Amino acid sequence: MAKLLLLVAVTIALLATAAAQRYCGASYLTIRADGMAETAVDKPKACTTATVKTACMGGLNPRCVLSYRTYTYVCCFDIVATVATAAPGATLTTSAGEILVQNLKPICPNGALGFGGNRALPCNPSSANSGCPTPTYSCVKAVNVYDIFGTPAILTDDVGAALTPYVCCDTISLTKPSAVFTNAGLTPNIVPTAMAPTNGVVSIFLPTPAVNVYTGDDRSQMAAPQLTNLNATISLFTETAFANATDRYHALIFDSTTNKDCVFFGNVPGTGTTQLALPLLEQYGVAANSTADNVMVVVYTNDTTSAQASKPYMYADVAYGTAPVVFGPTNTDSHRFVVLVWHTNNPLNFGPGNATVADTTKILLGESTYGDFVPTVDRAAGPGKFTTVTAFLSGKAASILKTPIAGTYFFAKK
């Protein structure tokens, strides 16, 4: 009888433990595609590793995980949003009335690669082997653990990734950010070796749908459209110059899968913070000898007389120079998008808008025969000078912009 009672007690304890477990195991994962921490009423969606792309839709970094709560495979996503009330998997603190979250995915410092690319492998630096596959990976403190209360010796009151403050990161890319591009096969195949960035990017905030993406993140299963009105905010590891300084920043966001679709932002002022705010994605307004702030251009053709029109480049709904543009047409599969950032001590001259002669000292953003972002196949405005992003990076970008100060990549559909 005593043995039977003990068996019943153990069974009840095991069932209680299973019920208390998170479906996805890790504190930074959730079964909710909206990135919110799951609640008691949320139920997981079943999946298999073969059906993850069709079953696990709507969230950031979808994966099919064996749940030790149900002993079945369920869809899991990264937690990406703060929560207003306590929920399973969320530990909250309050600072000046603002509710802050502690269960975000730990991110490697310096833009380094995590274990398995964008997957986090928490570790313990005080253990014998830290739990990381050494020497390939090192156990370091995540960059997104924030000591808001000024208590560096206490981690329990930190926010961000405070529940898993240490993470396994690729040892080489921790000190050599360009290794991220090499390991991803971007350098030297797409981004020339001399143009591999000297530092990583903390994150990029993309507004459609609104979420921060980190190195290697996959947003391709999120709701479409994913890259329209691309007024992104890039978070760097170093502070930018103040807005009243002469320093300017320049950024290129491009589809490395096609090596053609891209948007270039020029003369973006700093903010005095680590945040670099890019303007709304629209087409370049032609201006003579432009040193204006926040100019931009896309590889776009308004040649309506040939089969090459807007193919395979970006497109707009109406005339060049007036309408917001998008990366498109929409892809049915995931593409890898790369972000490169440059810094110059002074604004660059990107004009004249309608250049009539070649100029090796300027990047010409206008729509003309000599436009550096006008495709060579454009029979209406060109033929221009653009063939591939790689050719641009090897040419004028290398001679005028020099080596990027930061870079990263993520996956998305257009």
pLDDT digits (tens, 9 = 90+) for 357-388: 888 899 988 777 888 888 877 666 667 788 89
Residue-level pLDDT at 402: 95
Segment 301-334, tens digit of pLDDT: 554 554 444 444 454 444 444 445 555 555 677 8
Segment 279-300, tens digit of pLDDT: 876 544 444 457 888 888 877 6
- Mean pLDDT score of the chain, rounded to an integer? 79
Order the strands of the 262-269 sheet from edge to edge.
295-298, 262-269, 248-255, 335-344, 406-412
d(CA 351, CA 338): 26
Residue-level pLDDT at 326: 56
Segment 169-223, tens digit of pLDDT: 999 999 898 999 999 999 999 999 999 999 998 888 887 777 888 899 998 888 7
The alpha helices in 307-381, defined as continuous H runs, are none
Domain boundaries, the chain: 30-82, 92-171, 176-414
Q: Compare 348 and 154 and report the one with higher pLDDT.
A: 348
**Going by CATH, does the domain composed of 176-414 fall within 3.40.50.1100?**
no
Lowest mean pLDDT among 70-84, 121-135, 207-221: 70-84
Q: Compare 22 and 407 and report the one with higher pLDDT.
A: 407
* CB neighbour list of residue 160: distance below 8 Å, 6 or more residues apart: 101, 102, 104, 142, 144, 145, 146
Mean pLDDT across 231-247: 88
* CB neighbour list of residue 34: distance below 8 Å, 6 or more residues apart: 58, 59, 81
| Contact criterion met (CB below 8 Å) for 38 and 22 | yes
Residue-level pLDDT at 56: 92
The pTM of the full predicted model, rounded to 2 decimals, is: 0.84
The alpha helices in 151-238, defined as continuous H runs, are 171-175, 178-183
Residue-level pLDDT at 233: 87
